[in-house]
Structure formats: structure tokens, C-alpha cells
Amino acid sequence: MQYEVIIGLEVHAQLNTDSKVFSDSPSKFGAAPNSQVSSVCLGLPGSLPVLNEDALTKAIMAGLAFGSDITLHTKFDRKNYFYPDLPKGYQISQFDRPICAGGKISFTVKGEDKPRFVNLTRIHIEEDAGKLIHSADPKIPQSYVDLNRAGTPLIEIVSEPDMRSSDEAYYYLLALKSVLRYIRVSDCNMEEGSLRCDANVSIRPVGSDKFGTRVEIKNLNSFKAVKAAIDYEVEWQKDMYTQGKTFPQQTKLWDSASNVTQTMRTKEMSHDYRYFPDPDLPPVILTKETVESIRKTLPELPDARRDRFVEKLGLPKYDAEVLTAEREIADYYESALKVSGDAKKTSNWVKDEVLGIVNKESITISEFKVTPERIGGLVKLIADGKISGKIGKTVFEEMLSTDKDPETIVTEKNLIVVRDDKEIERIVDEAIAANEDAVQKYKSGKDRALGAIVGYVMKVSKGKADPNLVNQMLLDKLGPLPPKG
């Protein structure tokens, strides 16, 4: 039997506020255990939560970026469950009136040109729980509680079950992460836990309109893990149905060491959490004017910026996708372009030379030592014909180890392109005499042979000869390429 895969994702993104969502405790990553807590985080009697306005604003920004409707009259609810890292015995979340409703995320699967879309159900605000740290020694069956993370503001982005493959889920997550980082509401660092994903997976016979039994997979700490867990779960469910077996709706954990999903518990339903409005937090009433003022703070989003790079700057789609993957990279490119004035040459230098080093050294482009203005100046020298591309790479190497601008390096090292016709003609004549075999191949119709002669000239001139002038002189002396045959 052929099956159709049904996937929905629940993504938890920590908002990068200075303090927690309902208290003034700091929310920085990496502090000593239980050093960033308050009476609210600890759930002490009499402690009262106060909503962090910055968290509310950033949640609205996320909703606007994804095209959601903003709920003008919203509230917070208590989600009741008992776990060691939840000292209050409940989590403050949103149940029936989430801050954002609807919306969609567009993405392109590798190798395809046409974008795909996944609809969003909701985006709501909630507080994070603490973290359990289990003993690594099996002889010491103990767990330790770190409440530093308790109360950190989260937005949960819930998709409709619109995805039909693990590839779609993977590229959906990449697009979601890109937007959140563009609008700078979350750093989306999965290694630090600031972006976490749960996948809801089911299958059904092709042509059926009924959903199969759903399994929720937790503990997915990388996009690669999301893809692998979905693929494993799909095959497991197919095997169960093929054997005529059924299974209950349940929650599973992903074991990255064994590459399998393992049952943790049967799935709770919403009524199991006994939601009710939090009596300590007043409703949040917004105006349309407030929402529109937040909308005006949004930057140009990645899809729009990519399209502008293609349509206005004339860049190939691939270049535009690479340059707009991260807001900081796009900003770097545009700053360099303001100086160089050449969109394509600047793109080549940023995506190949600059990002080549950034990726090799595992740094961010903000940490890259050469400013975009200096890169733009280097590209301008090449575009204006003052240095060759080969000389440009020599200058670039010097820029990596000094703070000198490219013009200074070119002047100090006497790297300006030679346009002395007599000097270049002398080297061209020398090249023709020294490359008789290449000359004969060219005259027999092999155009690639001309490259060997040009290469000789550039070597003798140490890359300083004007390549356009060299090519023109060779054509004048050797004549046009004869027709083949």
C-alpha cells in the first residue's frame, strides 16, 4: 500500500530579551546554575508575575513577519502539569486567545524553483521551564535542577499539518530560522536550546482524507535530527500498519545515538492540562495603532530582499539566495556594493572569498576582520581595471593580515595594471616566440590554446599586464580564430 506522510511542526523559539517574560531576572545563557532566578522563577507563595513588554513586542514582530493576524484582546492561561523543573506546578502560556493567529511560511526545496507554503495555526507566548541535569554516573541515580531557564520568554510557532516529507520540514525550519534572525527576536541557536522543535508525524493511505494516529517526537536538537527522526518514524508506522498492528497516540523521544524513536508516554490532550485564565495577569489589550507602529520597525525580510537582488541588481538567483540567507551577510554585501558599484563582482567576492573564510573558520561575518567598505574598495579597483583579478587576490591576502585599505596596498607594492603598449607588446612577442606549439594549435582552430599564451604574458608581467590589452594584441598579431575543419 502507498502511504502519504502528514507532518506538522511545533517550534519553540526563545526571545532574546534581557530579562524573563514575567520577572526581572536576567535570561542570559551560560550562567552558573540557579544564579538567574527570582521568587517568580521559584514559584514562591505571594510572588506575582509582571509581563515583559519587550517579549510581547517581539512576539508581535514574529507574527507580522509571518503574515499572522494579531489578537488585539489576548490573555494568559495556566497550563497545569507536574515536573521537577516546574516549581509552580503550572506553566504560564496561552490557550484559546494566542497573540498571533494564522500566517504562513514560504520556502524552496533544494533543486526546485517554485516556492512551497506551509500555513501556521498560531503563535503564542509562554514561559520556558527549567532544566534537569542527570548524573552521568549510573551508580549515582540522581538528577539536578537548574532553574536559570525557568521563565525565559518563548514563542511557540505551530504549523498546520501541511508538510509531506522530511525534506519539506527541513527547508521549512531553515526559512523560519532565517526570518526570526532577520527580525532579531531570537538567535535561534539550537546548541544552546534557544530553538527547539517537536514533530507531529502520521501516515495515511494515498487518497484517504482521514488522518492516521499521530506521534509527537520530542528532543530534536538539530535540523538534521528533525529530518532523521521523521524518516525513521514514517518507516516505523508503515511497518506497524503492514503487520496489521495499531498504536495509541503518543509522545516519543529521539535517540540520536541509536537513530531511533522511543515511546515516552501516551499523548496528553488539552483537557489534561486543565487550562484556565491566569488570575495574576490582566488581559492584554492592544490597539491597531500599536500593532502598525511595530510593523514599521520590521526590516526587509529575506524573500523580499532576495527578489530585489535578482530584479533590481541583476544577480543570479543562486547568488541572491546565498547573500540573503542571513541578514548580516546581506548587510555586508550591500555596504560593499555602495563602494564598488558593481553588483556581480561584489557578489562573487563576498560569497566566494569572504564567506569561504567565514565558513572555514566557523565565525560569523560580524567577526570577519575585513570590513565591507574595504572589500568594496578592492572590487572597485578590479572593476575600474586598475588591477587584475589575480592581483586582487594578492591584495586580499594582505588585507587579511593588516588594516590597510586596498589602494594603499596596491600603491606600496606597485601592483597597478601596466598599460604601457610598448612594454606589453614586447612581452606578447616574447610569449608568441616561446609558445610555438600553442600558436600552431590556435591557428588550427583550437581557441583554448590562446589561454596558454595569455598565461605566459601574465606570468612574465607578474599579473600586472592589462588582460584586455593582451588579448587584443594577440588577436591583432595572430589573426582571428580560423573556422574548424
Cell of 246: 495499531
pLDDT of residue 134: 87
Provide φ and ψ at 250, rounded to 5°.
Answer: -155, 170
Write the CB contacts of 44 (distance below 8 Å, at least 6 apart in sequence).
Answer: none
- Name the pLDDT band for 417 (thresholds 50, 70, 90): low
pLDDT of residue 420: 58
Q: Which residue has the higher pLDDT, 102 or 190?
A: 102
Write the CB contacts of 352 (distance below 8 Å, at least 6 apart in sequence).
Answer: none
Residues of the chain with CATH 1.10.10.410: 421-478
pLDDT digits (tens, 9 = 90+) for 148-158: 999 999 999 99
How many angstroms separate the CA atoms of 121 and 118, rounded? 10
Cell of 368: 570577519
**Structural domain 421-478, CATH architecture:** Orthogonal Bundle (1.10)
How many angstroms separate the CA atoms of 304 and 139, rounded? 56
pLDDT digits (tens, 9 = 90+) for 239-256: 999 999 999 999 999 998
| Residue 267, pLDDT above cutoff 70 | no
Q: Which of 54-58, 262-266, 322-326 has the lowest mean pLDDT?
A: 262-266
The pTM for the full model equals: 0.85
Provide φ and ψ at 134, rounded to 5°.
Answer: -90, 145
Cell of 147: 532553574
